[in-house]
């Protein structure tokens, strides 16, 4: 059977996702592999498929005892004999699995790492009597101090390669930066592993950072827009998860807290309720979420600063597994950064502190970005990402800017052609090729007459205003103000200088506004500034009444 046939037969899928095909091939060739694939990407299949294709047993190490049963049940339903050994089984059940292992009936065996090397390596010794054809280490970043979820029992796995020198090992994780990857390769003593890195980009998640100021109200506003949605709110301390959950309950939200200090029953209960949509909001420490397969989480909020990008990205990755648009919102304060710095200094040895501080620094940089957040995240995980995503908060602000050089050149050249002797409205009419009598016949002969017909009058007024604000045009203080060029406008006309314009947020709303605003010049502090402010808000008709019937430039 080919891998593709097996994929179809056992899993009912028609094609491989990400690099599953190549990964399976590497294992079948007997090589080691390090697999980085985002949560929900389909890591399990990378060892489950080889397991059914190879003779012998595949041993799967997973830290999540709670999830083993689900995985094993799913495999059995697909007709793949699988079992797990953990503390939830009684002696009889364990014995029965041991005999099924001996008979070679079982294809996949799930184990927690501590199990394997506990009681004088009895299990390892037993496994060595069997035909182990593949060792799969899930959540492999748990072996690294540098990962965000170090588990000491994972360190025991380093002796796997000595115990089973010929058996291929596949290590899988959804999160590992360079340092953590190196650590995984070394600690597991992987032999010339092939690294398979799938794109970590989650295009349906949009990233946003907001100053942690009045965060509770910000939160309420956010939740108000997400009444029907499921979401996770991460807090740093156990106490704050309980406090916030209680506050939200008082506001009428179906929220519960989750942290490692709760008894197992409460944790299981709250998690179940969340999975079943009986509660909408889980207010949790980072103890919550690993292995949680809930597809419709619409948002992940970090109420406090995460310690590092790896953890942050893993946590935000719990949103939008169904591929629908989802949000990641983080509240950032310098105070949080200081607090975490203090933690980092006292935790662990000097080396560890140094690395934790570096990672924290990268996290803070992320919060203070002036460039695309997604691009930064992708680069952090060594992935090229072109330019900008267009959906993070930085991009959304940046996108209001656009290259207006050509528009500027048209405007400036019109002013130039008209010998710098006319006001804004005349220049605009000229640009738009107005047929009105106002435009003198001699001007209709000029080459630039009508070159701006593609834009509306309101748009031209807006851009004229922006040109003035940016210093490319001067509006004189005369009774009938006229437009003059400046030294920098010459550079634009010569093509030496680019001009950026802002697209106004209120462009559409303003356009529907028809009531003209009337300004009394005598009541305005500063006529020039006012005029420019008006220019920025062009679509609202405005009159400045200087004296009796004298209307100012900006009047429409």
Contact positions vs Zn ion (CB under 5 A): 372, 374, 388-389, 392, 395
Angle (CA) 461 465 467, round 5°: 115
Complex with ligand ADP: residue 137 or 414, whichever CB lies closer: 137
Task: From 41-49, 90-98, 240-248, 472-480, give the range in contact with Mg ion by CB under 5 A.
Answer: 41-49
How far apart are alpha carbons 437 and 460 in whole angstroms? 20
Strands (E), 38-161: 57-61, 82-85, 108-111, 132-137
How crowded is the C-beta side of 73, counted as CA atoms within 13 Å? 5
The entry of Zn ion, ligand ADP, Mg ion, none near residue 20 (CB within 5 to 8 angstroms by kind) is: ligand ADP
**Which residue's Cβ lies closest to ligand ADP?**
42
- Shortest Å, Cβ 318 to ligand ADP: 10
What sections of 382-515 are H helices per DSSP? 393-398, 405-417, 424-431, 441-444, 457-469, 487-493, 507-512
Backbone dihedral angles phi then psi of residue 402, each to the nearest 5 degrees: -150, 160
In the shown chain, the binding pattern of residues 234 to 263 toward Mg ion, with x for contact by CB under 5 A and - for none, equals ------------------------------
The entry of Zn ion, Mg ion, ligand ADP, none near residue 392 (CB within 5 to 8 angstroms by kind) is: Zn ion
β-sheet bridge partners, residue 169: 135
- Shortest Å, Cβ 225 to Zn ion: 21
Strands (E), 218-360: 230-234, 255-258, 281-284, 297-302, 326-332
- Shortest Å, Cβ 186 to Mg ion: 23
How far apart are alpha carbons 135 and 61 in whole angstroms? 8
Complex with Zn ion: residue 47 or 366, whichever CB lies closer: 366
Which residues are at the interface with ligand ADP (CB under 6 A)? 13, 16-17, 20, 37, 39-45
Q: Is 250 exposed, middle or buried (0-12, 13-18, 19+ CB in 10 A)?
A: exposed
- Shortest Å, Cβ 366 to Zn ion: 12
The entry of Zn ion, Mg ion, ligand ADP, none near residue 115 (CB within 5 to 8 angstroms by kind) is: none
Task: From 36-44, 350-358, 449-457, 536-544, give the range in contact with Mg ion by CB under 5 A.
Answer: 36-44
Asked if 41 and 17 count as a contact pair (C-beta separation under 8 A), the reply is yes
The entry of ligand ADP, Zn ion, Mg ion, none near residue 41 (CB within 5 to 8 angstroms by kind) is: ligand ADP
- Shortest Å, Cβ 378 to ligand ADP: 18
Complex with Mg ion: residue 52 or 407, whichever CB lies closer: 52
Asked if 128 and 164 count as a contact pair (C-beta separation under 8 A), the reply is yes
Complex with Mg ion: residue 173 or 489, whichever CB lies closer: 173
- Shortest Å, Cβ 43 to Mg ion: 5
Complex with ligand ADP: residue 175 or 470, whichever CB lies closer: 175
In the shown chain, the binding pattern of residues 42 to 81 toward Mg ion, with x for contact by CB under 5 A and - for none, equals -x--------------------------------------
The entry of Zn ion, ligand ADP, Mg ion, none near residue 145 (CB within 5 to 8 angstroms by kind) is: none
The entry of Zn ion, Mg ion, ligand ADP, none near residue 374 (CB within 5 to 8 angstroms by kind) is: Zn ion
Asked if 144 and 187 count as a contact pair (C-beta separation under 8 A), the reply is yes
For 123, residues 6+ apart whose C-beta sits below 8 A from its C-beta are 85, 111, 115, 116, 117
Complex with ligand ADP: residue 23 or 257, whichever CB lies closer: 23
Complex with Zn ion: residue 142 or 372, whichever CB lies closer: 372
Q: What is the DSSP string of 167-205?
A: S-EEEEES---HHHHHHHHHHTT-SSPEEEE-----TTE
- Shortest Å, Cβ 113 to ligand ADP: 17
Complex with ligand ADP: residue 41 or 404, whichever CB lies closer: 41
Q: Is 81 exposed, middle or buried (0-12, 13-18, 19+ CB in 10 A)?
A: middle
The total number of residues written for the chain in this structure: 556
For 200, residues 6+ apart whose C-beta sits below 8 A from its C-beta are 36, 38, 313, 377, 378, 381, 383
Binding site for Mg ion (CB under 5 A): 43
């Amino acid at each position: 059977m080919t891998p593709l046939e097996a994929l179809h037969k056992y899993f009912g899928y028609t094609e491989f996702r990400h690099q599953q095909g190549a990964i399976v091939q590497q294992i079948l060739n007997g090589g080691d592999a390090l697999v980085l694939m985002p949560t929900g990407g389909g890591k399990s299949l990378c060892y489950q498929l080889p397991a059914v294709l190879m003779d012998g047993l595949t041993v799967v190490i997973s830290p999540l005892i709670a999830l083993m049963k689900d995985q094993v049940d799913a495999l059995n339903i697909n007709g793949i004999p699988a079992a797990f050994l953990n503390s939830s089984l009684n002696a009889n059940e364990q014995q029965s699995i041991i005999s099924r292992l001996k008979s070679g009936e079982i294809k996949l065996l799930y184990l927690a790492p501590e199990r394997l090397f506990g009681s004088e390596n009895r299990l390892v010794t037993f496994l060595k009597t069997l035909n182990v054809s593949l060792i799969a280490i899930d959540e492999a970043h748990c072996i690294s101090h540098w990962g965000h979820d170090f588990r000491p029992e994972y360190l025991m796995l380093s002796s796997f390669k000595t115990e089973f020198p010929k058996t291929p090992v596949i290590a899988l994780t959804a999160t590992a930066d360079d340092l953590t990857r190196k650590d995984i390769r070394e600690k597991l003593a992987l032999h010339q592993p092939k690294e398979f890195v799938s794109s970590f980009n989650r295009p349906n998640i949009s990233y946003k950072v907001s100053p942690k100021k009045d965060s509770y109200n910000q939160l309420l506003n956010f939740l108000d827009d997400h009444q029907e949605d499921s979401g996770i709110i991460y807090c740093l301390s156990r106490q704050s998860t309980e406090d916030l959950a209680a506050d939200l309950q008082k506001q009428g939200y179906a929220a519960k807290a989750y942290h490692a200090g709760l008894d197992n029953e409460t944790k299981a209960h709250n998690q179940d309720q969340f999975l079943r949509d009986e509660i909408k909001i889980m207010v949790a420490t980072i103890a919550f979420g690993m292995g949680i397969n809930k597809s419709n989480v619409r948002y992940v909020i970090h109420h406090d600063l995460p310690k590092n990008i790896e953890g942050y990205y893993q946590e935000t990755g719990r949103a939008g597994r169904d591929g629908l648009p989802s949000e990641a919102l983080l509240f950032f304060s310098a105070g949080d950064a200081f607090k975490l710095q203090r933690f980092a200094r006292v935790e662990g040895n000097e080396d560890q502190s140094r690395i934790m501080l570096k990672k924290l620094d990268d996290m803070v940089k992320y919060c203070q970005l002036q460039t695309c957040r997604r691009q930064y995240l992708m680069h952090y995980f060594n992935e090229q990402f072109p330019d900008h995503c267009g959906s993070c908060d930085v991009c959304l602000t940046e996108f209001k800017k656009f290259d207006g050089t050509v528009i500027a050149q048209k405007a400036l050249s019109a002013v130039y052609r008209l010998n710098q002797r006319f006001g804004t409205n005349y220049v605009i009419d000229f640009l738009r090729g107005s047929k009105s009598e106002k435009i003198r016949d001699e001007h209709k002969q000029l080459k630039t007459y009508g070159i701006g017909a593609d834009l509306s009058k309101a748009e031209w007024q807006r851009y004229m205003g922006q040109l003035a604000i940016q210093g490319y045009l001067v509006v004189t203080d005369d009774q009938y103000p006229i437009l003059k060029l400046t030294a920098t406008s010459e550079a634009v006309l010569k093509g030496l200088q680019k001009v950026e314009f802002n697209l106004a947020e209120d462009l559409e709303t303003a356009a529907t506004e028809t009531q003209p605003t009337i300004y009394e010049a005598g009541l305005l502090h500063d006529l020039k500034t006012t005029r420019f402010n008006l220019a920025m808000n062009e679509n609202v008709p405005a009159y400045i009444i200087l004296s009796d019937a004298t209307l100012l430039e900006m009047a429409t």
